[in-house]
Amino acid sequence: MSAGITITGDNFEQEVVHSTLPVLIDFWAPWCGPCRILGPLIDQLADEYQGRVKIGKVNIDEENDLALQHGIASIPALILYKDGVIAGQKNGAIPKRDIEVMFKDYV
């Protein structure tokens, strides 16, 4: 069971902007092949970093407004928030170690 959360327009402010932990968001869609490759890594990281990094997913088909607000042009897209502001961004199905590098300075 993954420790990751589903991020929506309704909980974005609470879960991301006001989070005391760094927040890594995976923008994805069920029809996206690279997203399906990256998904299990994101779930694994959510479990491994539980309590140190909040890791969540945004389904762009269901949360199009959040995707537009973040300028998501291609998926998968990873955005790291720290203290309510964007601290990093990567696109594509990247290796686990590259994802960890995104937040290693914040844990």
Residue spans per domain, the chain: 5-106
The reply to whether CATH 3.40.30.10 applies to domain 5-106 is yes
Tens of pLDDT, residue by residue over 22-51, are 999 999 999 999 999 999 999 999 999 999
- Tell me which residues are annotated as active site: 32, 35
Q: What tokens were used for 17? A: 């902007």
Compute, in degrees rounded to 10, the torsion defined by CA atoms 9, 15, 16, 18: 120
Compute, in degrees rounded to 10, the torsion defined by CA atoms 48, 41, 89, 65: -110
Q: What tokens were used for 11? A: 């909980």
pTM of the predicted model as reported, rounded to 2 decimal places = 0.94
Q: Nearest 5 degrees, angle CA 30-CA 13-CA 44?
A: 45
- Give the model's pLDDT for residue 2: 62
